[in-house]
Amino acid sequence: MWAASCLASCCAACACDACRTVVSGISRRSARIAYCGLFALSLVVSWILREVAAPLMEKLPWINHFHKTPDREWFETDAVLRVSLGNFLFFTILSVSMVGVKNQRDPRDAMHHGGWMMKIICWFILVILMFFVPNEIISFYESASKFGAGLFLLVQVVLLLDFVHGWNDKWVGYDEQFWYVALLVVSLVCYLATFGFSGLLFHWFTPSGQDCGLNTFFIAMTLTLVLLFAIVALHPAVGGSILPASVISLYCMYLCYSGLASEPRDYECNGLHKHSKAISTGTLTLGLLTTVLSVVYSAVRAGSSTTLLSPPSSPRAGAGKPLLPMDKADEHEEKEKNKPVSYSYAFFHIIFSLASMYSAMLLTGWSTSVGESGKLVDVGWPSVWVRIITGWATAGLYIWSLVAPILFPEREF
């Protein structure tokens, strides 16, 4: 017994030393990646608790206070939502506290880049506390998460537009035949995948003998938008490129599939209900991978002054010469402190807050909620419309990015 106690103490001490070493190694430049790591940790914790926490949560009276104990799936969903809520509050508090930071002289700049041991402890405490809040709060957060997840999908669209336009500009900038051919090949592959995908959607979601007018409308509408992208992008007045149009077309078709796959399993037009387990696992894996890549990309691109995360331009403090002369070391330090921040810290953390909501919806399948009776209530249709409307909003944002410079030539986009 004494040996086991000593071994546990040694392991705990080693773990603390390891955490302290890792935390002390986080520099100013690696802070953004550290936030991504913390977010990834929340996904791992959510996934683990979804698999193992149900038996324990059934014994907690403030959670399982129903006359009839809900199904195991309800407790799995509840565990994911509670971790997500703690993660959401953590990043939201950081976002609110970072509003108005314009230069590195602000004390909150140091708080954003440092204090990692305290941040990890606070994150851990917030997640633990969420398992003591009433079910009503979790139910409200679940409803709000559907809209927050939709907003995160729109952020993904803006990041995707930034990525494909940068990709296209880089290849065109080489001004060599090889890169033009590569651009054309990638565009053709994306269009072939888009139209092939649409054929599968008609096969899966418009079965013969069923009245599936709504599904037909969703798919046909997406195909119409795909054609509209190409027409607008290749119009002489716009002078766009086919690569961004093809990538956005494929993404819109994926959103259409994602929405149709979220239809209730007993809906006669959902042809995937026979393979729901395999499809949901594949969709979950792809969705989580897309989420992590989006968050990492936003963190990496945050250093650019041309991205979505950039703060509005503000005058630099202390631009004039000092009244008293300073030596070179002091002058260099003063310049470093007066440097404006390269991205909006508040918006940076908001992305993580919205990503927490989106990942919760992915891990819970978008399709389960709890009523007062504790029974699972099918809410698949709101999830369908969130994704379909997100696809339409994607189309609107892309077309706007093409026509806005023509409509407002005096403004910089």
How far is it, in rounded angstroms, from Cα 228 to Cα 226? 5
DSSP letter, residue 263: S
How far is it, in rounded angstroms, from Cα 66 to Cα 69? 6
How far is it, in rounded angstroms, from Cα 216 to Cα 203? 10
Token representation of residue 23: 């935390």
pLDDT at 337: 55
Q: Alpha helix (H) ranges present in 106-134?
A: 107-113, 116-129
How far is it, in rounded angstroms, from Cα 142 to Cα 198? 31
Sequence ranges of the domains in the chain: 13-310+340-407
Report the b/e string of 122-157 with b at 16+ CB within 10 A.
bbeebbeebbeeebeebbebbeebbebbbbbbebbb
Q: Which positions ≥6 away from 378 have C-beta within 8 Å?
A: 264, 367, 368
First to last CA, the chain: 68
Half-sphere exposure of 175 (CA within 13 A, CB side): 1
Q: How far is CA 217 from CA 150, 255, 327, in A?
A: 21, 14, 71
pLDDT by residue, tens only, the chain of 413 residues:
444 444 444 444 444 443 444 444 455 667 888 898 898 899 889 888 888 888 888 888 888 777 777 777 788 888 889 999 999 999 999 999 988 888 878 888 888 888 899 999 999 999 999 999 988 898 899 888 888 887 887 787 888 888 888 888 899 888 889 999 999 999 999 999 999 999 999 988 888 777 889 999 999 999 999 999 999 999 888 878 899 999 999 999 988 988 888 787 777 888 776 555 544 556 656 666 776 776 777 666 654 434 455 554 444 334 444 434 545 555 555 555 567 877 788 888 988 899 899 888 877 766 554 443 333 333 467 778 888 988 999 899 999 989 988 888 776 65
How far is it, in rounded angstroms, from Cα 264 to Cα 401? 35
Residue with tokens 């907690």: 60
* Angle of the 213-233 helix axis to the 380-407 helix axis, nearest 10: 20
Q: Is 411 helix (H, G, I), strand (E, B) or coil?
A: coil
pLDDT at 154: 79
pLDDT at 100: 84
Contact (CB, 8 A) for 176 and 240: no
How far is it, in rounded angstroms, from Cα 376 to Cα 71? 8
Q: Which positions ≥6 away from 379 have C-beta within 8 Å?
A: 367, 368, 369
Handedness of CA 332, 334, 338, 341 (dihedral sign): positive
Q: How far is CA 362 from CA 43, 230, 262, 285, 306, in A?
A: 11, 31, 11, 9, 30
